[in-house]
Chains A and B, each alone.
Chain A
Amino acid sequence: MPGEDGFITCAVCGFSFDPSAHEGCRACPLHSGCVTACCPNCGATNINPRRSGLARLVERLFARKTYETPFDEER
């Protein structure tokens, strides 16, 4: 899941990386429709949730719920 800083965690090696940091992708003609991101640590191809409208929707729903928990209010 991308954190607030946009980092995602690789499924294979657990490495956290910023999928937008790879300028090579921007040169790719298929980039605009591509939902994958390559882990710079192990090279595994991951789904990039930032590219999915459905994932962004779920993220927003979940984020709102998180902020409403008493734990966060106490903090």
Chain B
Amino acid sequence: MPDTYFYRYDDYDRTLVSERVDQFRDQVRRRLAGELTEEQFKPLRLTNGLYLQLHAYMLRVAIPYGTLSSRQLRKLADISRKYDRGYGHFTTRQNLQLNWIKLEDAPDALAALAEVDMHALQTSGNCIRNVTADHFAGAAADEIEDPRIWAEIVRQWSTLHPEFTFLPRKFKIAITGSPNDRAAVRVHDIGLRLWRNEQGEVGFEVIVGGGLGRTPMIGKTLREFLPKNELLAYLEATLRVYNRYGRRDNLYKARIKILVHEVGVEKMRADVEAEYAETRDGLLGLSDETIEAISQQFAPPDLPPRSNLAGAVEALRLEDRDFALWLKSNVAPHRVKGYAIVTASLKPAGAPPGDASAVQMEGVADIADAYSQGELRVSHEQNLIFPHVAIEDLPAVYAALGRLGFAEANVGKITDIIACPGLDYCALANARSIPVAQRISSHFAGLARQHDIGDLKIKISGCINACGHHHVGHIGILGVDKNGVELYQISLGGDVDFGKTALGTILGPAVTADKVVEAVDSLVTTYLDSRGDGERFVDTFRRIGAEPFKDRMYAAL
């Protein structure tokens, strides 16, 4: 079994997680005994990742910065079998949700997670949530620095932070270390982007007040360049300003984006900088030694450079059209010559996006052991990633994934749909998401057509909370309830790419569930008829605007 190439828990981390499990076990006992009311218990279970959904409790397991080992994934499979129904759902926040957990089993499930240094801490509640990062971190060819080092530093600082556990609302932090932002840093409460300034120093651009949900907003730059070792002091200052002045009178206006919007980014900056002036020289400064010790744990595996040309790959590419397409869509450049980053698509045609059975999880873990240094990533696009695959192993990985049903050559394509659990599971949802995703996915199943259509991101949310990120889908689909009927509002032109981050434009009246596929089909046809050379769907939309799409779509329905 290969060692891991990311943060390894030491006795401090293990002690804290296990003491937290003990504390929660006692809280569950008191709730079952009637010593705690549901109102008192709810925030306690939520900060341990336990929701009550329509049919059962749901446990949201944190996968910090989307990185996990094959051993951890096997354990997740195990837990899903023992305490759930043998499958799990990978989410847009790089977490894993188990949908059928019993309250009385939850402490045991958490104890089982702790055995592999995992937890469900702060995956819900009005606290700093699990920190997300670029899913290609540590492997991407375009990376300046591994953002996970910083995500781990933030994970520790934010875990059981005594001052910030009862914030006005939830707080999400995302970090990217590449110019190609794969972590969507402009749509988080705080987005951190590592970049190199003119003096050659690497620091953070701190972006604040982005987010989707009811009031979608693009984040604004709070600080152009923050020296890295000042990160925690600056975050603490920002969170303190938010904790003190964020609105608490209205649930829907309590996120930091509303505070930034209401006071203006200049005032927000002045307040944070004033607070920061007082905190910066305190104990939160990060010593080079501390940073170095954590960085070492993320030291990349020793990958001996190999040839980018592999005869077997070339032969299969010529002979197997689907493999050729898979190379194009599911394989990305690695920083080391002769290696690649492979995405396993959790979006087989007609399947619920992001779901994996226990056997599939174990199969993926086996592939990671055999071909990717035992390491995996979860992407916010709800796929699993093998970060370090030798190019010559690609045919074997493709074949192994094929046996699991995860070799669909559709990453970034129209059937690589992001969808929240929707009304089938979720207590907040107004409409179903998964069956809509399934119908679209089945309709566009042909790979050749998908590749002809090219990059097109469909994102579906079952309510305004936007867990399916519909605002930033090239095609966004939002389920709404109108007098007991599910309707779907369609928007175009959303994007999370850095520098192009945009919120979609709503086309017009919502359509009924049975018309969604026709509507999407018409949008695709309009694009195919209008596209210029090399234009993606979203490029054509930007050039010609919403009208041609809208006219044709409503005429077709």
Q: Do A and B come from one complex?
A: no
